C-alpha cells in the first residue's frame, strides 16, 4: 500500500489523507500529536495515581474529574485535526464546546473548596448549573456553530454567539475564582495555608490559560492566519501537565492529598520517558528541538519536585509523629494539672481550716479558757497543738510549692532594713529557744544601710524557716544570727549558724531539692517534709537573692547564709 492510496478527494475537492486508527493522518502537523498525546498520557497517569490513593478528599475527586474532562477534550481535539468529513468535524467541534466550560467549573470549584477549606455553598452550585443551561439549550443550534468554513480547504467550524458567551463565562469564572481566593487568602491566619492558597490559585489560572490558549489564539487570529492560527494555539497544551503536576504538588505538599512520594516519582519518570521517546519518533527538526527543550525542563522540574516532596513527606511525618506524642503528653499534663489544682483546693480549704480550729481550741484549753485542766491532760493538749502546728506548716509548705510551680506566687517588693527584721524575729523566737535550752544570739555589722529590696513577708518567712530548722536540729548549744553587709560589692548577708547535728557533705548539694532531707535529720526531727529549704531557695531566688549552706560534717554544726543585693545608703542611727 503506497501512501497515496490513503489520500482521497472529499466532496468539495480538497485532498485529504485518510486517518488511520481515527487519529493518525499524514496531513496533521506532528506538533498536534505531541501537544495532545503527551499531556493526555501524563494526566492519565496522574489520574491513576490519584485513583489508587487510599483517602480521597473533595479536592482530589475534583482534580480527577478535571483530568478526565481534559483527556476527553484533548482526544476529541486530535480527532478534529485528523478527520476530514465536515459533518463529523461539526459534531465533534460542538462537543468540545460542552466540555470546555465544565473544566473551568471544576477548577473553580477546586480552588474555592481548597481556599476556604469547605464545600462551596448551594447558591454557588446552583449558579454554576444555571450558567450552564444556555450551553445545553443552544449547543445543537446555529448559535453554537453557524456553519463550516471550507475556504482554502481549512476545515474549520464557524463559531456563533454561544461561543462568545462561553468565553465571557470563562473569563468571569477566572476573575471570580481569583477574587474569592484572595478573600480566603486575607482571612487565612496560618502562613502555611496562606501561601498554599496563593500558589494553588496561580497554578490553576496558569492551567486554565494553557488550556484555553489554543482557543483564544485560534479565535483571535483565524481570520489572519487561517488554520495556522489553530496550530500555533496548540503549543499552550504543553503547559497542561506541568501546571496540573504543579497543582498536584501543591496539594500534596500542603497535606490535602495523601498521595505518597512513589506517585510523584512515577509521574515524573513517566513524563521524562514520554518526552525522551518523542526525540526518537519525531520526524521534523522543530519537533525534536521542542521535545529536547521540554525534556530538559521536565527533568530539572522533576528532580526538584521529587526531592522537595520527599523532604516534605519526611518532615511532615516526623512532625505528625511528634505532634501526636506532644498532644498525648499535653492531655496528660492537663489532667495532672487539674488534679493538682483540685488537691491544692482541698488542701487549702479542707485541711487548713480544721487545723486552725484545732490549734485555736488547744490553745484555749491550755490557757484555761474552759476551766482548769489536769497537768497530764495539759501535756496531751500541748502535743495536740504542736502536731496541729506542724501539720499547718506542712500544708503551708505544700501550698507554697504548688504556688511556686504554677507561677502563682506573688511578691510585693519594697525597701526595708534586714537587720531590724532579723533582730525582731530573733527576739520573737528567743523564748522557744530558751525553752529548748538553746542560746540564741543576734549580732550585726553593717557599714551601709542594711537595706534590701525584697518582699518583707516572704523574707520573714525565710528567716523564721531557717531559724526553726536550726532549733530543730540543734539538741544543745547555741544559734548565732549575724547580719552584715559588703558595701564594696553591694551585698547584704544574713548568716544563721548553729552547733547542731551538721550535714554530711555528700548530701549538701541536694539539700535545696524537693523532698530531700539529710540522712541524720530523722534522728533528731522526724516530722520534716523536705520542702522547707526548697521553698526558701525558690523564694529568695525569685527576690534576686541567694542561699547557701556550709557544714564541716556531721556533728559539726551548720551555717545557712542568705545574700541580698544591698540598697545603697547609710544605716539609720549610725
Partner 1 sequence: MNERSMKRALRLFYLVLFVFLLLSISAGFYKYLVFHDYEIYLGEEIKSEV
* Closer CB to partner 1, 87 or 189, in the complex: 87
* Closer CB to partner 1, 99 or 198, in the complex: 99
Select the span of 54-62, 146-154, 255-263, 538-546 touching partner 1 (CB under 8 A).
146-154
Under 8 Å between Cβ of 499 and 477: yes
Q: How far is the CB of 317 from partner 1 (least distance, A)?
A: 36
Terminal-to-terminal C-alpha distance of the chain: 128
What DSSP assignment string belongs to 495-564? Answer: EEEE-SS---HHHHTTTTSTT---TTHHHH-S---S-HHHHHHHHHHHTT-EEEEEESSTTS-EEEEEEE
Three-state DSSP class for 171? helix
Q: How far is the CB of 147 from partner 1 (least distance, A)?
A: 4
Based on the shown chain and the rule CB under 8 A, indicate whether residue 165 belongs to the binding site for partner 1: no
Select the span of 16-24, 89-97, 189-197, 440-448 touching partner 1 (CB under 8 A).
89-97
Select the span of 41-49, 127-135, 318-326, 496-504 touching partner 1 (CB under 8 A).
127-135
Based on the shown chain and the rule CB under 8 A, indicate whether residue 161 belongs to the binding site for partner 1: no
Q: With 0-12 CB in 10 A as exposed, 13-18 as middle and 19+ as buried, what is 95?
A: middle
The only residue of 9, 20, 24, 129 in contact with partner 1, by rule CB under 8 A: 129
Under 8 Å between Cβ of 544 and 454: yes
Q: Which residue has the cell 477548577?
A: 107
Based on the shown chain and the rule CB under 8 A, indicate whether residue 150 belongs to the binding site for partner 1: yes
Q: In sequence order, what are the residues at sequence separation of 6 or more whose Cβ sits closer than 8 angstroms to the Cβ of residue 138?
A: 144, 162
Q: How far apart are CA 550 and CA 559, in angstroms?
A: 5
The only residue of 117, 127, 147, 414 in contact with partner 1, by rule CB under 8 A: 147
Select the span of 94-102, 278-286, 318-326, 347-355 touching partner 1 (CB under 8 A).
94-102
Helices (H), 117-225: 122-138, 161-187, 191-225
The only residue of 2, 4, 5, 12 in contact with partner 1, by rule CB under 8 A: 12
Based on the shown chain and the rule CB under 8 A, indicate whether residue 258 belongs to the binding site for partner 1: no
Bridge-based pairing of strands 451-455 and 477-486 is unpaired
Q: How far is the CB of 144 from partner 1 (least distance, A)?
A: 8
Q: How far is the CB of 55 from partner 1 (least distance, A)?
A: 22
* Closer CB to partner 1, 135 or 197, in the complex: 135
Q: How far is the CB of 132 from partner 1 (least distance, A)?
A: 6
The only residue of 8, 118, 127, 137 in contact with partner 1, by rule CB under 8 A: 137
Q: How far is the CB of 214 from partner 1 (least distance, A)?
A: 21
Q: Where are the beta strands (DSSP E) in 215-270?
A: none
Q: How many CA atoms lie within 13 A of 370 on its CB side?
A: 12
Based on the shown chain and the rule CB under 8 A, indicate whether residue 146 belongs to the binding site for partner 1: yes
Based on the shown chain and the rule CB under 8 A, indicate whether residue 151 belongs to the binding site for partner 1: yes
Based on the shown chain and the rule CB under 8 A, indicate whether residue 134 belongs to the binding site for partner 1: no
Based on the shown chain and the rule CB under 8 A, indicate whether residue 133 belongs to the binding site for partner 1: yes
Bridge-based pairing of strands 438-445 and 451-455 is unpaired
Under 8 Å between Cβ of 247 and 200: yes
Based on the shown chain and the rule CB under 8 A, indicate whether residue 224 belongs to the binding site for partner 1: no
Based on the shown chain and the rule CB under 8 A, indicate whether residue 94 belongs to the binding site for partner 1: yes
* Closer CB to partner 1, 173 or 197, in the complex: 173
Q: How far is the CB of 12 from partner 1 (least distance, A)?
A: 7
Under 8 Å between Cβ of 243 and 203: yes
Based on the shown chain and the rule CB under 8 A, indicate whether residue 382 belongs to the binding site for partner 1: no
Q: In sequence order, what are the residues at sequence separation of 6 or more whose Cβ sits closer than 8 angstroms to the Cβ of residue 75?
A: 36, 40
Q: With 0-12 CB in 10 A as exposed, 13-18 as middle and 19+ as buried, what is 522?
A: exposed
Give the residues lining the site for partner 1 (CB under 8 A): 11-12, 86-88, 90-91, 94-95, 98, 122, 125-126, 129, 132-133, 136-137, 139-140, 142, 145-151, 158
Amino acid at each position: 500500500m503506497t501512501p497515496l492510496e490513503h489520500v482521497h478527494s472529499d466532496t468539495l475537492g480538497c485532498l485529504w489523507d485518510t486517518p488511520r486508527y481515527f487519529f493518525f493522518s499524514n496531513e496533521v502537523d506532528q506538533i498536534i500529536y505531541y501537544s495532545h498525546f503527551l499531556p493526555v498520557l501524563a494526566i492519565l497517569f496522574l489520574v491513576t495515581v490519584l485513583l489508587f490513593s487510599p483517602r480521597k478528599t473533595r479536592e482530589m475527586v475534583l482534580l480527577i474529574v478535571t483530568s478526565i474532562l481534559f483527556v476527553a477534550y484533548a482526544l476529541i481535539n486530535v480527532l478534529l485535526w485528523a478527520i476530514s468529513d465536515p459533518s463529523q468535524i461539526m459534531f465533534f467541534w460542538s462537543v468540545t464546546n460542552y466540555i470546555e466550560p465544565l473544566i473551568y467549573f471544576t477548577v473553580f470549584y477546586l480552588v474555592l473548596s481548597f481556599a476556604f477549606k469547605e464545600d462551596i455553598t448551594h447558591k454557588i452550585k446552583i449558579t454554576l448549573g444555571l450558567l450552564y443551561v444556555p450551553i445545553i439549550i443552544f449547543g445543537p443550534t446555529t448559535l453554537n456553530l453557524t456553519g463550516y468554513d471550507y475556504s482554502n480547504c481549512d476545515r474549520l467550524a464557524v463559531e456563533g454567539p454561544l461561543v462568545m458567551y462561553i468565553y465571557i463565562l470563562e473569563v468571569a469564572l477566572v476573575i471570580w475564582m481569583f477574587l474569592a481566593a484572595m478573600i480566603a487568602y486575607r482571612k487565612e491566619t496560618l502562613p502555611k495555608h496562606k501561601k498554599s492558597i496563593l500558589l494553588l490559585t496561580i497554578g490553576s489560572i496558569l492551567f486554565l490559560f494553557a488550556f484555553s490558549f489554543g482557543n483564544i489564539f485560534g479565535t483571535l487570529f483565524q481570520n489572519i492566519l487561517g488554520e495556522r492560527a489553530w496550530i500555533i494555539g496548540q503549543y499552550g497544551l504543553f503547559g497542561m501537565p506541568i501546571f496540573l503536576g504543579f497543582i498536584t504538588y501543591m496539594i500534596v505538599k500542603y497535606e490535602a492529598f495523601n498521595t505518597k512520594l512513589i506517585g510523584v516519582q512515577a509521574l515524573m519518570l513517566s513524563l521524562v520517558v514520554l518526552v525522551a521517546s518523542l526525540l526518537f519518533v519525531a520526524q521534523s527538526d522543530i519537533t525534536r528541538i521542542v521535545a529536547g527543550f521540554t525534556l530538559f525542563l521536565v527533568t530539572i522540574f522533576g528532580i526538584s519536585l521529587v526531592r522537595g516532596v520527599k523532604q516534605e513527606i519526611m518532615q511532615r511525618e516526623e512532625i505528625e509523629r511528634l505532634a501526636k506524642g506532644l498532644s498525648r503528653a499535653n492531655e496528660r499534663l492537663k489532667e495532672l494539672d487539674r488534679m493538682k489544682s483540685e488537691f491544692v483546693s482541698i488542701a487549702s480549704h479542707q485541711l487548713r481550716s480544721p487545723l486552725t480550729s484545732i490549734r485555736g481550741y488547744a490553745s484555749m484549753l491550755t490557757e484555761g479558757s474552759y476551766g482548769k485542766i489536769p497537768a497530764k491532760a495539759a501535756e496531751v493538749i500541748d502535743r495536740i497543738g504542736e502536731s496541729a502546728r506542724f501539720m499547718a506548716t506542712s500544708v503551708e509548705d505544700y501550698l507554697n510549692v504548688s504556688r511556686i510551680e504554677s507561677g502563682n506566687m506573688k511578691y510585693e517588693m519594697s525597701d526595708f532594713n534586714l537587720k531590724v527584721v532579723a533582730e525582731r524575729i530573733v527576739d520573737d523566737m528567743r523564748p522557744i529557744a530558751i525553752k529548748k535550752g538553746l542560746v540564741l544570739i543576734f549580732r550585726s555589722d553593717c557599714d551601709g544601710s542594711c537595706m534590701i529590696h525584697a518582699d518583707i513577708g516572704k523574707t520573714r518567712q525565710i528567716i523564721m524557716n531557717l531559724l526553726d530548722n536550726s532549733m530543730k536540729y540543734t539538741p544543745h548549744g547555741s544559734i548565732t544570727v549575724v547580719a552584715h553587709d559588703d558595701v564594696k560589692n553591694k551585698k547584704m548577708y544574713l548568716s544563721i549558724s548553729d552547733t547542731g547535728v551538721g550535714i554530711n557533705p555528700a548530701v549538701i548539694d541536694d539539700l535545696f531539692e524537693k523532698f530531700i532531707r539529710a540522712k541524720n535529720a530523722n534522728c533528731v526531727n522526724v516530722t520534716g517534709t523536705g520542702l522547707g529549704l526548697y521553698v526558701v531557695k525558690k523564694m529568695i531566688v525569685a527576690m534576686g537573692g541567694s542561699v547557701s549552706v556550709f557544714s564541716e560534717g556531721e556533728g559539726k554544726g551548720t551555717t545557712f547564709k542568705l545574700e541580698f543585693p544591698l540598697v545603697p545608703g547609710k544605716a539609720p542611727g549610725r
